[in-house]
Chains A and B, each alone.
Chain A
Amino acid sequence: MALTLYSLIQTAILCTNAIAVLHEERFLRKIGSGVDQGVTGFGDDPGIKAQVLNLIRSVRTVMRVPLIIVNTASIVLLLLFG
């Protein structure tokens, strides 16, 4: 299997884009943990579901602007160099 660093970078960009374009309400309501009923437990074991939600929320907040830059750069590079 010819895994290269380039394919890893591609995978990372695609996955982060997927998390960024997620529509929280519709998607998470299907799973049963919408935005309005967020789990705000302060016990020392928030549970896996709350952690996943936290992760998705933080990735969206943090990576929004860098993703714009990275996507623009990759579009330009792919246009120029194929």
Chain B
Amino acid sequence: MDYNVTQKAFRHQPNVRLRKSSMDGSDGSQLFEDTSGCSSKTSQQRNQASGPQSAGFPGQSVLSDPVSNLAMAYGSSLATQGKEMMDRNLDRFIPISKLKYYFAVDTLYVGKKLGLLVFPYMHENWEVSYQRDTPVAPRFDLNAPDLYIPAMGFITYVLVAGLALGTQNRFSPELLGVQASSALVWLIMEVLAVLLSLYLVTVNTDLTTIDLLAFSGYKYVGMIVGVVAGLIFGRPAYYLSLLWCCAAIFVFMTRTLRLKLLSEAAAAEGRLVKGARNQLRMYLTMSIAAAQPVFMFWLTYHLIT
């Protein structure tokens, strides 16, 4: 296991990482690329052309009237003001700018991460790289957590569960909602339990709630693989693939959480650092990782005959 501490900064302070909204577009590592397709030249031309065009466009008498021009300008300024106020208030409850960070993924990242979730044994460097104190977007760093895979995995799990129930003639449309809400409730309870245990053990970590949500959502990938294998090839295939995915998720979670929860020395050199606190944290990591296979089995065994 090779941690390049010189190349990537390792944070020892427990500050919560700031995923500021100024991250997108400010310093070259944008969250989202500009794929709108129109360069600045064409936008300038468009601005010049729209001036004389608005006078002669739809209702000539309506738009050339200065009073209605004033009314239009006032209305548009009101609309922008209202939109700004709503954005600001909404941002207070649901941190939308922080959420954007978790969805800044691209196809290559998703492919590599899915491969990592099913086969994490060859991956060597599990550290999240930082860029001047803010974490790098998931698109540039394979180890960063994202919310795209968990969200898509959850939806796919609900659909695959409906498919599995349909092949056994147990399907009805309400069951989709029941499956979805039951899986969601288990997810919420798991995240709350992990938060509670992190609080009780007083771990100084920079894991946020959304990070925990992302990590808990990674097990849906394994569940989907298991259920699909069980549907196509029968019950033994379900057990085999579920066993494989459980082991993979266990290793994945352990290696990821070890860096975040344990102290620096323990994470850098291995597992054998003495101290009651480190032992407790190791137990905590292990139990969080061990809870994943339990949930994976619990949420899928009733789908396979």
- Chain A residues with CB under 8 Å of chain B are 1-5, 7-8, 44-46, 48, 51-52, 55
CB-defined contacts of B181 to chain A, threshold 8 Å: 3-5
A-B residue pair count with CB separations less than 8 angstroms: 30
Distance of B200 from chain A, by nearest CB (Å) = 5
Number of B residues near A (Cβ < 8 Å) is 13
Q: Are B277's CB and A45's CB within 8 A?
A: yes
Distance of B165 from chain A, by nearest CB (Å) = 14
Residue of A nearest to B197 (CB): A48
- Chain B residues with CB under 8 Å of chain A are 178, 181-182, 184-186, 188-189, 199-202, 277
Residue of B nearest to A12 (CB): B192
Minimum-distance CB pairs A-B, first 10: A3-B185, A3-B182, A4-B181, A51-B200, A8-B185, A48-B200, A5-B181, A2-B178, A45-B277, A5-B185
Distance of A2 from chain B, by nearest CB (Å) = 6
Residue of B nearest to A2 (CB): B178
CB-defined contacts of A52 to chain B, threshold 8 Å: 200
CB-defined contacts of B277 to chain A, threshold 8 Å: 45
CA distance A44 to B186 in the complex (A): 33
Residue of B nearest to A9 (CB): B185
Q: Are A5's CB and B184's CB within 8 A?
A: yes
Residue of A nearest to B192 (CB): A12
Sample of 14 more A-B contacts, CB < 8 Å, known A1-B182, A5-B184, A52-B200: A3-B181, A3-B185, A4-B185, A5-B181, A7-B185, A8-B185, A8-B188, A8-B189, A45-B202, A45-B277, A48-B200, A48-B201, A51-B199, A55-B199
Residue of A nearest to B276 (CB): A45
